[in-house]
Amino acid sequence: MKLRLTRRRFVLGVGTAALGVGAWTWRIEPHLVAVVRRGMPVRGLPTELEGKTLAQVSDLHVCPRVDSDYLSECLRKVSALNPDIVAVTGDFFSQGGPERAEEVARVFEHLAAPPLGCFAVLGNHDYGERWNDARIAEQLVRRLTDVGVTVLRNASRVVSGLRIVGLDDLWGTNFHPAKVLPTLTADEPAVVLCHNPDAADSPVYWGKYRGWILSGHTHGGQCKPPFLTPPMLPVLNKRYTSGAFDLGDGRSLYINRGLGHLLRVRFNVRPEITLHRLVRA
């Protein structure tokens, strides 16, 4: 027996579909974490680091809008991947302050110390609501240091022959890439952590660097219509959505979609843990 498509049935069907999409974008996808596994070719990579892994997470946004139990479980998932290095590319919290820094520290107690260290940079929200309070950032750095996270603020560390560089946030009060980028050469194996991918386009003394830049900040747009670009991105360069980009000058950029959110909504943009496998370029 054929059913006639009446106006009532049509409206009911559209309403049911809308409710389903709404429930998915609010209740399910914001916590449906994807583990993205990919190779990261690094020129001059020391032999002893070949095949080692670097796990990247970003944009946790610890605050009342993001469930801390969910974030703690995410860090336990990172630990279960047994990465050799962990990199956190900024925006640890939103609505920052001393109590929020304590909450971040409690969340990071669920991350097992990786063999070669956990390194991080700050994001714009790590400087408070107006992104300009250096005291809030310093409080966060102190608590992260207490739980074993090395925050690189326009500085670098060499780990088994790989230089890990951290730039402070482009929108913060301490963006001084000239303190560290001019020291990089084309041949030294290195990875740069930089929260905002727009910094890759800035005339900021990138000089001879010809390696990877790991970023976050965009959340992948959080909502992406099928086959289209996200309608909202907090960057000037609108091609910087998520994933890998060839910058055309020997540098490559990878943008992680983040774990947290400012508004609890995601559609076609799952939160992400990235597991980069280091290989010789």
> For residue range 27-86, what is the model confidence (pLDDT) as tens digits?
689 999 999 999 999 999 999 999 999 999 999 999 999 999 999 999 999 999 999 999
List pLDDT tens digits, range 117-146.
999 999 999 999 899 999 999 999 999 999
* CATH fold of the domain at 37-280: Purple Acid Phosphatase; chain A, domain 2 (3.60.21)
Q: Is the pLDDT of residue 228 over 90?
A: no
Q: What is the pTM of this model?
A: 0.91
With cut-offs at 50, 70 and 90, classify the pLDDT of residue 15.
very low
Once rounded to an integer, what is the mean pLDDT over residues 192-196?
98
Of 152-156, 163-167, 223-227, the least confident: 223-227
Once rounded to an integer, what is the mean pLDDT over residues 3-19?
48
User: What does the domain layout of the chain look like in residue ranges?
Assistant: 37-280
Percent of the chain with pLDDT over 90: 80
What is the 3-class SS of the chain, one letter each residue?
CCCCCCHHHHHHHHHHHHHHHHHHHHHHHHHCCEEEEEEEEECCCCHHHCCCEEEEECCCCEECCECHHHHHHHHHHHHHCCCCEEEEECCCECCCCHHHHHHHHHHHCCCCCCCCCEEEECCHHHHCCCCCCHHHHHHHHHHHHHCCEEECCCEEEEECCEEEEEECCCCCCCCCHHHCHHHCCCCCCEEEEECCHHHHHCCCCCCCCCCEEEECCCHHHCECCCCCCCCCCCCCCCCCCCEEEECCCCCEEEECCCCCCCCCCCECCCCEEEEEEEEEC
